[in-house]
A and B are shown apart, each in its own frame.
Chain A
Amino acid sequence: MHKSQLYFGASVGLLVMFVGWTLTLAGIVAGALMAVGLLVLLANVGYWFASRSRRRIRVDIARQERQPGRSQRRKY
């Protein structure tokens, strides 16, 4: 996941939540809009952390493979 996608998703989530909240304050029932905004925000943050942890695992594996001792052990 790109950083720009995270920023966009978080902005959309916050904006939708804000619009839903404003409409509710104005007397228009828009709780569903707030819920959708929250969902978008949480989904983006969740995907961001999931993609970061996947990237870290890949880096760790690559580092382990570069160490000769470890690769020898794996070979034999």
Chain B
Amino acid sequence: MQLDIVVGFFLLGALAQLVRSDLRLPTGLYQSCVIFLLLAIGLKGGAALSTYSAATLVPQSLAVLAFGALLPLLAFPVLHWIGKWSRLDAAATAAHYGSVSVATYAVAVALLNSHGIEYEAYFPLFVALLEVPAIVVGILLARQSAKDAGTGKLFHELTCNQGVLLLLGGIVIGAWAGERTASVMPFFGQLFHGVLALFLLEMGRVAAARLRDVKGQGAFLLSFGIFMPLMGGVAGGVLGSLLGLSAGGVFLLAVLGSSASYIAVPAAMAVALPQANASVSITLSLAITFPFNVLVAIPVYLAFIQHWS
């Protein structure tokens, strides 16, 4: 099992928080890293998009959308009936697990690149697509109509949040520019690993800061935060195989199924389900699932894919 070098920065950030160091990435720099990563992923995917036909992309995109809607339906019964959570909290948290984490995806892409494993270059499209259906399903599970939450505001949050906007924007620019993206690629391509390392340094610190909340919430949080990414990962891997993706593609879809959102969905849930306990959802996805994915699940998925293929 091999960990990518960027994971070392994640561990360093976590260690800095645990020893109460004053290490902290300036907010502006952290924001810049987020913007850079989203645009870099989007541009690369967009540039590759023009080489694929709609006949390939449309059925796969529909399958991925259905996958995004299915994951919260898997998470909700566990949280509501086994965890005895309220319907509202269970639905809001389930939505987090149906959506994806771009940072987890970036770590997976970095690992594939360092191992020289090929994958379908249009994957950023799937990342953007997977942001939305889980939020809709989460709201429906909470049985709170979008009208109550303010349809306009919710739609705005769904489509215009930073993550979706930059990712889709990058894809559109990349698809439009095609080979001309080569002029910006020295910046967005070669600096990708370095910026990801900086981003993960801060993420490690933030995740470790939330560990205290995990202790207070009990063991169920830990169990669910480990169970759900594995179920999502298996489901994603199976779907990737059924769609006939390459080994790298199957791996990436497993990682996307495994990841949980902690940026886009919390923002949307704050609008749609403001009464839900946001702290518990973010703690779960950020302090348990994200480190588990980066440190354990992603290397195991990769080893499995390499062994399988």
Which A residues lie at the B interface, using CB under 8 A?
1-2, 4-6, 8-9, 12-13, 16, 19, 23, 26-33, 36, 39-40, 43-44, 46-48
Interface size class of B (residues with CB under 8 A): 20 to 34
Q: Pick the contact of A9: B84, B220, B295 (CB < 8 A).
A: B220
Total of A-B residue pairs, C-beta within 8 Å: 79
Cβ–Cβ contact B300 & A23, under 8 A: yes
CA distance A18 to B218 in the complex (A): 23
Q: Does B296 contact A (CB under 8 A)?
A: yes
CA distance A46 to B220 in the complex (A): 12
**Which B residues are CB-close (under 8 A) to A4?**
81-84
Q: Which 6 A-B pairs have the closest CB atoms?
A: A9-B223, A47-B219, A29-B1, A5-B220, A44-B219, A43-B219
Q: Which residue of A has the minimal Cβ distance to B306?
A: A28
Task: Pick from B299, B300, B304 the residue with the most CB of A within 10 Å.
Answer: B300
CA distance A2 to B84 in the complex (A): 8
Other contacts beyond A9-B220, A9-B222, A31-B1: 15, CB < 8 A: A1-B219, A2-B83, A2-B84, A8-B223, A12-B223, A16-B226, A26-B307, A28-B300, A29-B303, A32-B296, A33-B300, A36-B296, A40-B222, A40-B223, A48-B219
Write 11 A-B pairs (CB below 8 A) sorted by A numbering.
Answer: A5-B223, A8-B223, A23-B303, A28-B307, A32-B295, A33-B296, A36-B226, A40-B222, A40-B226, A44-B219, A44-B223
Q: Is the interface of B mostly helix, strand, loop or mixed?
A: helix
Q: Does B292 contact A (CB under 8 A)?
A: yes
CA distance A40 to B296 in the complex (A): 14
Q: Does B235 contact A (CB under 8 A)?
A: no
Q: Which of B212-237 contact A (CB under 8 A)?
A: 218-220, 222-224, 226-227, 230
Q: Which residue of B has the minimal Cβ distance to A35?
A: B296
Q: Which residue of B has the minimal Cβ distance to A10?
A: B223
B211 to chain A minimum Cβ distance, whole angstroms, is 13
B169 to chain A minimum Cβ distance, whole angstroms, is 37
**Which A residues are CB-close (under 8 A) to B218?**
1, 5, 47
**Which B residues are CB-close (under 8 A) to A28?**
1, 300, 303-304, 307
Q: Does B106 contact A (CB under 8 A)?
A: no
**Which B residues are CB-close (under 8 A) to A5?**
82-84, 218-220, 223
Cβ–Cβ contact A30 & B219, under 8 A: no
Q: Which residue of B has the minimal Cβ distance to A20?
A: B300
**Which B residues are CB-close (under 8 A) to A27?**
307
B278-309: contact bitstring with A at CB < 8 Å (1 yes, 0 no)? Answer: 00000000000000100110011001100100
A50 to chain B minimum Cβ distance, whole angstroms, is 9
